[in-house]
Amino acid sequence: MQNQAFISKALTRRRLLGQAGIAGLTALAAPAWAQTMVTLPLPGGPGERSVTTGFPQKGAMILQRTRPPLLETPFEVFDKGVFTPNDRFFVRWHWSVIPTSIDVDSFRLNVHGHVNQTLSLTLKDILALPRVELAAVNQCSGNSRGFFQPRVPGGEWGNGAMGNARWTGVRLKDVLDRAGVKPGAVQVRLKGLDTPPVPDGPDFMKSLAVDHARDGEVMIAYAMNGEQLPLLNGFPLRIIVPGWYATYWVKMLSDIEVLDSPDTNFWMKTAYTIPDTPHADMKPGQADVKMIPINRLNPRSFITNITSGTTIPAGKPAPVHGIAFGGDSGVKRVDFSADGGKTWHATHLGKDEGKYSLRRWETRFTPTAKGNYTLMVRCTNNSGEAQPAQANWNPAGFMRNIIESTPVSVA
């Protein structure tokens, strides 16, 4: 078994070296796996990024950072359908020590802490539990951070740190019930196999309230879009927290600890906190702002078939379509404006894949006069929350969901 793993690794290396050698002959300066460049329109720059196919099990992705990997989904992928292909699904890791080899026979998921019985589950044990499935958007807390003004440090994403998949797995509740949660439990802490490269670095761990963890929707997924997860998206197991930001969707899940007091670890108490204000908005430098852990996704919508600066012929109906998600309550409506938000009309919504899923919308725009137009799209969710006209700001660059604007000219 070990020998086989070694041979396959050696072959992979040789193959990679061979490719590098060939590419090296034609393009000396560029790495073999950096194919093209894109420019994200980030205010003040720098917006130039490589598009790479160099990561295992991934297609062409915008390279935000090689180590630990930050890979953004090129926005045109979202025009192709409401489900994001696994090989184009965004990638985000906090620490660089990520196992690159996972053996499905020796992998264990441990459940311990404030439980009647600790568990050490094999993947076979998990696959034998009742299977559940749902479609849900997975969006980085800092998606679109690069558009914040004033700019803030961090992963300088455009809008592609999100994706939608059909997740298959087992209920976290069913696993917790097997261990038997003791009375007095308050939170369930989730940890993956990734570790810091520095001795005292805080391990990445996230916690959910016990009632949330046991709501029957929070899932331990072993498949996305009908296939096992790519390693960089969390193979073999990933927590799915429908309607909540991706920070809770712990990848390579290996450890579940039931806590009898609130989790005060760095990644809950300090990192991933937002101002407890409408739209998580505050002023730069503002003092005495109450901060709380980030939680529910807010609604967003995008035009996917028309990009900024496009020229549209006058007098002809132009099809406009795109994607929307309602956060944790589903898309109620998506409205379209061709006059910078002065007037709005409802678009036609596509198939409902469930309240946590991306949903397609479409409409037509027939400009009669030549000139410049600002196209806008606004999602309202089933809780009545609509995207705001003003951008929010907070120091971590979280939860951007301003109504998107697409300037076009009609000629």
Partner 1 sequence: MKRKILPLALLAGAALVSLAVQAKVPTSLKSVDVTLPESTRALPDGPGVDLVHDNCLACHSAGMILAQPTMPKAAWEAEVNKMRNVFKAPIDAKNVPAIVDYLTAVKGPK
* 55 touches partner 1 by CB under 8 A: yes
Closest approach of partner 1 to the CB of residue 105, in Å: 8
Task: List the interface residues with partner 1, window 170-209 (CB under 8 A).
Answer: 196-202
CA-based Rg of the chain, rounded to a whole angstrom?
Answer: 22
In the chain, the amino acid numbered 136 is: A
Nearer to partner 1, 55 or 248 (CB): 55
* 156 touches partner 1 by CB under 8 A: yes
Q: Supply the DSSP symbol for 18.
A: H
Residue 207 and residue 259: Cα distance in Å, rounded? Answer: 9
From 76, 177, 211, 227, residue interacting with partner 1 (rule: CB under 8 A): 227
Asked whether 133 and 280 are in contact (CB, 8 A), the reply is: no
Q: Supply the DSSP symbol for 276.
A: S
Residue 336 and residue 343: Cα distance in Å, rounded? Answer: 8
Task: List the interface residues with partner 1, window 266-285 (CB under 8 A).
Answer: 266, 270
Residue/partner pairs of 286-294 with CB below 8 Å, 24 or more apart:
293/268, 294/141, 294/245, 294/247, 294/398, 294/399
Nearer to partner 1, 14 or 80 (CB): 14
Task: List the interface residues with partner 1, window 293-332 (CB under 8 A).
Answer: none
Q: Supply the DSSP symbol for 269.
A: H
Closest approach of partner 1 to the CB of residue 266, in Å: 7
Asked whether 248 and 194 are in contact (CB, 8 A), the reply is: no
* 89 touches partner 1 by CB under 8 A: no
* 292 touches partner 1 by CB under 8 A: no
From 2, 25, 44, 369, residue interacting with partner 1 (rule: CB under 8 A): 44
Residue 189 and residue 254: Cα distance in Å, rounded? Answer: 11
Closest approach of partner 1 to the CB of residue 366, in Å: 40
Q: How many residues does the chain have?
A: 411
Asked whether 141 and 294 are in contact (CB, 8 A), the reply is: yes
Spell out the residues 6+ positions from residue 390 whose beta carbon is closer than 8 angstroms to its own.
402
From 2, 3, 26, 100, residue interacting with partner 1 (rule: CB under 8 A): 100
Torsion angles phi and psi, residue 298, rounded to 5:
-100, 165
Nearer to partner 1, 146 or 160 (CB): 146
Stretch that binds partner 1, among 60-68, 75-83, 290-298, 355-363 (CB under 8 A): 60-68
* 69 touches partner 1 by CB under 8 A: yes
- As beta bridge partners, residue 376 has 337, 405
From 2, 3, 26, 101, residue interacting with partner 1 (rule: CB under 8 A): 101
From 37, 104, 292, 346, residue interacting with partner 1 (rule: CB under 8 A): 104
From 35, 75, 96, 409, residue interacting with partner 1 (rule: CB under 8 A): 96
Two structure tokens written together for 369 = 């006069």
Torsion angles phi and psi, residue 334, rounded to 5:
-130, 125
Residue 399 region by backbone torsions, left for phi larger than 0, else alpha for psi between -120 and 50, else beta = left
Closest approach of partner 1 to the CB of residue 281, in Å: 20
The 10 Å Cβ neighbour count of residue 325 is 28
* 16 touches partner 1 by CB under 8 A: yes
Q: Is 116 helix (H, G, I), strand (E, B) or coil?
A: coil
- As beta bridge partners, residue 365 has 318
Binding mask 247-266 for partner 1 (x = CB under 8 A): -------------------x
From 80, 108, 131, 345, residue interacting with partner 1 (rule: CB under 8 A): 131
From 78, 83, 90, 222, residue interacting with partner 1 (rule: CB under 8 A): 222
Spell out the residues 6+ positions from residue 136 whose beta carbon is closer than 8 angstroms to its own.
164, 165, 167, 240, 242, 243, 354, 356, 357
Stretch that binds partner 1, among 31-39, 75-83, 319-327, 374-382 (CB under 8 A): 31-39
* 63 touches partner 1 by CB under 8 A: yes
Stretch that binds partner 1, among 126-134, 175-183, 255-263, 379-387 (CB under 8 A): 126-134
Instruction: List residues binding partner 1 (CB under 8 A).
Output: 5, 8-9, 12-13, 16, 31, 33-34, 42, 44-46, 49, 52, 54-57, 63-70, 95-96, 98, 100-105, 123-124, 127, 131, 133, 146, 151-153, 156, 168, 196-202, 222-223, 226-228, 231, 235-236, 266, 270
